[in-house]
């Protein structure tokens, strides 16, 4: 007993000695990397403005980067004016010409000051993080008036619609511009079409985190449980023209950076 204890103690001391020796011989350079060198990106001077390497999806002038969802050959018909564009509910959803995989997205939107209606019928739109077909097919981050407007919590602004409730309600009053900053990780599929890794999303709403790397259960499902049914690749980003009768919402300053 005594002998083995001595051996163990000696081994520990030797081990400790070896480790100490290695640390003494180590140089600070050993743990410093010099490649790869990150690309230079010039950050915006104004908070929320696009950094130098962003793809501008709306700069206040036109909807050249957007098409009608249900007929992608048709340019987006929503109304542009005074540096913003506004949902035209008579026309349908719009989406980007370009498709994206993983990205960082900035988007600003405003519920009109004179908004009427309640619950889901009060400034309802939606940001589909990936549009996977016509109509409302895709993964919807809800856009809705959230200022003293009661509705089911997994359908309020900041929710991944019908999947998860936002951590907090950081809504501003109707009439004020609001921001979404989003980090989207697209789902990855196996060759047989089953999901390999689910989509994930992090959302800052008016600068406040409301979703932290939330794993989506599948594309948005209005009725029933969501699940991944069909593989898809990079997808457009879509904005919803919701069928309720409330005043249409507006957008400005939309940019994206592919990750």
Residues in touch with Mg ion (CB under 5 A): 124, 126, 240
Pick between residue 50 and residue 235 the one whose CB is nearest to Mg ion: 235
Question: Cβ of residue 36: shortest distance to Mg ion, in angstroms?
Answer: 40
Q: How far is CA 221 from CA 40, 153, 227, in A?
A: 41, 16, 8
Pick between residue 84 and residue 239 the one whose CB is nearest to Mg ion: 239
Pick between residue 50 and residue 76 the one whose CB is nearest to Mg ion: 76
Q: Could you count the other beta carbons within 10 Å of the beta carbon of residue 119?
A: 15
Question: Cβ of residue 125: shortest distance to Mg ion, in angstroms?
Answer: 6
Question: Cβ of residue 194: shortest distance to Mg ion, in angstroms?
Answer: 28
Distance CA 131, CA 129 (A): 7
Q: Which residue is nearest to Mg ion (CB)?
A: 126
Nearest C-alpha neighbor of 227 from the set 165, 141, 142, 162: 162
Question: Cβ of residue 242: shortest distance to Mg ion, in angstroms?
Answer: 5
Question: Cβ of residue 202: shortest distance to Mg ion, in angstroms?
Answer: 20
Pick between residue 106 and residue 122 the one whose CB is nearest to Mg ion: 122
Nearest C-alpha neighbor of 216 from the set 191, 197, 231, 237: 197
13 phi, psi to nearest 5 deg: -65, -45
Q: How far is CA 88 from CA 35, 76, 79, 179, in A?
A: 49, 10, 7, 21
Pick between residue 142 and residue 235 the one whose CB is nearest to Mg ion: 142
């Amino acid at each position: 007993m005594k002998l083995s204890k001595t051996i163990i103690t000696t081994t520990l001391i030797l081990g400790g000695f070896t480790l100490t020796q290695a640390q003494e011989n180590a140089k600070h350079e050993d743990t410093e990397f010099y490649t790869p060198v990150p690309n230079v990106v010039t950050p915006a001077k104004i908070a929320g403005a696009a950094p130098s390497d962003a793809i501008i999806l709306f700069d206040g002038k036109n909807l050249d980067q957007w098409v009608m969802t249900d007929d992608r050959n048709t340019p987006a018909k929503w109304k542009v004016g005074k540096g913003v564009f506004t949902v035209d509910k008579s026309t349908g959803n719009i989406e980007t010409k370009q498709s994206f995989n993983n990205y960082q997205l900035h988007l600003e939107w405003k519920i009109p000051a004179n908004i009427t209606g309640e619950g889901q019928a009060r400034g309802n739109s939606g940001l589909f993080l990936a549009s996977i077909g016509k109509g409302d097919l895709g993964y919807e981050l809800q856009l809705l008036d959230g200022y003293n407007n009661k509705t089911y919590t997994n359908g309020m602004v900041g929710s991944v619609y019908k999947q998860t409730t936002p951590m907090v309600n950081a809504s501003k009053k109707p009439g004020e511009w609001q921001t979404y900053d989003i980090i989207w990780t697209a789902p990855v599929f196996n060759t047989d079409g089953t999901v390999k890794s689910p989509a994930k999303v992090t959302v800052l709403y008016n600068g406040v985190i409301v979703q932290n790397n939330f794993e989506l259960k599948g594309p948005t499902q209005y009725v029933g449980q969501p699940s991944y049914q069909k593989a898809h690749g990079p997808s457009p980003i879509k904005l919803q023209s919701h069928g309720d009768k409330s005043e249409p919402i507006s957008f400005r300053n939309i940019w994206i950076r592919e990750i």
